[in-house]
Every structure is written in structure tokens, then in C-alpha cells.
Amino acid sequence: MYKRKILNMIILVVGMIGIFSCEYEKITYDAPDPTIPVSYAADIQAIWDKGCVGCHGVGKTPPDLTAANSYNALINGAFVDTAQPEQSGIYTCMITGGSMAAYTNASDAGLVLVWIQQGAKNN
């Protein structure tokens, strides 16, 4: 009996390690490499152009995410918090459960987070 309990415990622990390691793999797969410099003009604006400017255009719903205005709109509108990047409104609206999540995906949201973590530069 006692040996069987120990065996069951071992199976449970190994199973849990298996489950958590899968989850870990999945997260690292989705997250962009934080050491690669993100370009606002090339990488982030492309996300806005792809899924956002249809509604967030000039004179439409703020923030204006068109190429000429998006950087200033985000910084001046306080959608970016470089002290607490994960609290930035532009990031939280894009992740699962966020109000704009339907128009984007996890890897683009991850790229936006890395851009903010790297100082939200207009580069």
C-alpha cells in the first residue's frame, strides 16, 4: 500500500512538471526576443496599419494610430507607461481580455510590450 502511494505521488509530480513545462514552452514561443531592438516605425506602426487605423484614423476614435500621428497620440494620451510597461493602456487593451484584443494577436501585443520596455522610443 505504502509503496503504491509513493508511486502515485511520483506519477503526479512528473505529470505536473510535464504540464507546466508545456505551458512554459508555449509562452516563450509567443514572446518576441526582448534583446532584439524594436523599431517603432518599422515594427509597431505596421501593427497599427494592419489592424487599427480603419477605426483609429485621422479625426476618428482616439488614439489616432496613423503613421504621421500615432507616436505623439500614444505618448501625449498617456497610453504608454515606461515605468510600468505592463500597465500601459496600449498594451493592456491588446492582450487577452483587453477591449481591442479582437483586432490583434498575442505576438503583436508582446512586441508592443518589448517596445515599451526598451523605452518607447520613436525610432
- Binding residues for ligand HEC, rule: CB under 6 A, are 51-52, 54-56, 61, 63, 79, 89-90, 93-94, 99-100, 103-104
Closer residue to ligand HEC in complex, CB, 56/116: 56
Closer residue to ligand HEC in complex, CB, 21/107: 107
* Closest to 89 measured CA to CA, from 110, 104, 108, 74: 74
Closer residue to ligand HEC in complex, CB, 99/122: 99
The burial class, CB within 10 Å (0-12 / 13-18 / 19+), for 26 is exposed
Residue 12 cell numbers, joined: 503526479
User: CA 43, 44, 48: angle at the middle one, nearest 5?
Assistant: 120
Report the C-alpha gap between 84 and 75 in whole angstroms.
14
